[in-house]
Amino acid sequence: MKVLIISLEEIIYEGQVDAVIVPGAAGAFQILDQHAPILSVLTAGSIQLHFHTKEHIELDEWCKKFIPNPDDDKIFTFKVHGGLVEMNQNIVTILVD
């Protein structure tokens, strides 16, 4: 599925992932390919982008741009202070602050 992560200043990430875990207001939840449409508020916590792996890389500053290589099979994690997430037509859009 396609993921687009946007801050007020820039597009942080745009690309294909296998799964996304976000810190929802009622707790963390996972979004998979072809998930039903959803709109949710995000709280402070971590967003994880999954690329077929058990290996984990921690990115301390969410505002750093990164271009993961899906061939490397990684899980990328970065911290957010809050925001919104929308899943619609197999595109996950995450607005972070």
pLDDT digits (tens, 9 = 90+) for 12-34: 888 889 999 999 999 999 999 99
Could you give the percent of the chain with pLDDT greater than 70?
Answer: 78
Task: State the pLDDT confidence band at 63, using cuts at 50, 70 and 90.
Answer: very low
Entry pTM = 0.82
Q: What is the pLDDT of residue 66?
A: 59
Report which of 15, 11, 73, 84 is spatially closest to residue 47, judged by C-alpha positions. 84
Query: CA-to-CA distance for 73 and 28, rounded, in angstroms?
Result: 22
**Average pLDDT over every residue of 58-67:** 54
Q: How many CB atoms lie within 10 A of CB 77?
A: 17
